[in-house]
Chain A
Amino acid sequence: MATSCPIGLDVDQLRREVSFIYARVAEDPNGDFHFHRGPGYAAELLGYDPSELAAIPAASSASFAGVGNPHCVAPIVAGETVVDIGCGAGTDLLLAARKVGATGKAIGVDMTPAMAEKTRGGAREMGLSHVEVRVGDALELPVESGTVDVVISNGVINLTPDKDRAYAEAFRILKPGGRFQLADIVVANELSEKIRNDIDLWTG
């Protein structure tokens, strides 16, 4: 099954479309989107703990647009270094930051500056000094090799034009023995090149 985009796909346009949509989610989470959003959705459909979500600033949780729950995959524990690929407005990253505590580190990477700033704001409001957000790309993570205990990602890898490279980057930054806890959407059927060339279908 294909894991990279067709050669003719305008990857820059794809990046712009993805950035545009998720910048809108950051600025207007109650706007008209084709996907679920917000803390109610996270708790009711994805199994997030409502009491944990209540500790996340509303400015972050309102823009939550994940497709699953990477926290359910395996425990994240105190002292670990976690990277969230495509941290968005920060719900997953801030939850992880609470779990790793002050002896750990939580690094968010997002290519949308508006989302990165929302996450920074959320971390400040929660007094979490061990949170860092870096503007960057899942295909070229601004993270040193072999330094991370856990990589999480929620609904992001499906939007990258080169899944193999995204997985290679996650692998690179992990320490030996580290784990990748991924929630995402997949397709069961092979898609035609025509469909894979349609950016509107990538972004909905």
Chain B
Amino acid sequence: MQRAGFVDVAIVARWDAFRGTSKEKIARKFGVEGVSLIARKPR
């Protein structure tokens, strides 16, 4: 995102996005997680 020009990139939350699904095990194997983030275009 920084390569694209975004600034103030911040992760605001993380969670186990595949918990309780049929892909839970393989997601954990690959280190998959859900994230929410915000980034801004400079003025």
The 9 closest A-B pairs by CB, nearest first: A188-B31, A167-B4, A189-B31, A174-B41, A177-B43, A171-B4, A180-B39, A34-B23, A176-B43
Shortest Cβ distance from A170 into B: residue? B4
A72 and B39 in contact (CB under 8 A), knowing A167-B3, A167-B6? no
Which A149-177 residues have a C-beta within 8 angstroms of B?
A: 164, 167-168, 170-171, 174-177
| CB atoms of B40 and A182 under 8 A apart | no
Interface residues on B, range: 20 to 34
- The reply to whether the CB of A73 lies closer than 8 angstroms to some CB of chain B is yes
| CB atoms of B30 and A189 under 8 A apart | yes
When the two chains form the complex, which single residue of A35, A171, A179 contacts B18, counting CB atoms closer than 8 Å?
Answer: A35
Q: Is the interface of B mostly helix, strand, loop or mixed?
A: loop
Identify 29 residue pairs between A and B in the complex whose beta-carbon atoms are under 8 Å apart, listed by A's number.
A34-B23, A35-B21, A35-B23, A36-B20, A36-B21, A67-B17, A68-B13, A70-B36, A72-B12, A73-B36, A73-B37, A168-B4, A170-B4, A174-B41, A176-B43, A177-B43, A178-B40, A179-B38, A180-B6, A181-B36, A181-B37, A182-B36, A183-B34, A184-B34, A184-B35, A185-B34, A185-B35, A186-B35, A201-B26
Residues of A within 8 A of B34 (CB): 67-68, 183-186
| CB atoms of A171 and B36 under 8 A apart | no
Interface of B with A (CB < 8 Å)?
A: 1, 3-6, 12-13, 15, 17-18, 20-23, 26, 30-43
Shortest Cβ distance from A70 into B: residue? B36
| CB atoms of B5 and A180 under 8 A apart | no
| CB atoms of B41 and A175 under 8 A apart | yes
Residues of B within 8 A of A188 (CB): 31-33
A186 and B32 in contact (CB under 8 A), knowing A36-B21, A167-B6? yes
- The reply to whether the CB of A69 lies closer than 8 angstroms to some CB of chain B is yes
| CB atoms of B39 and A68 under 8 A apart | no
Chain B: minimal CB distance from A43 (Å): 15
| CB atoms of A176 and B13 under 8 A apart | no
When the two chains form the complex, which single residue of B6, B30, B36 contacts A183, counting CB atoms closer than 8 Å?
Answer: B36
| CB atoms of A187 and B31 under 8 A apart | yes
- The reply to whether the CB of A191 lies closer than 8 angstroms to some CB of chain B is yes
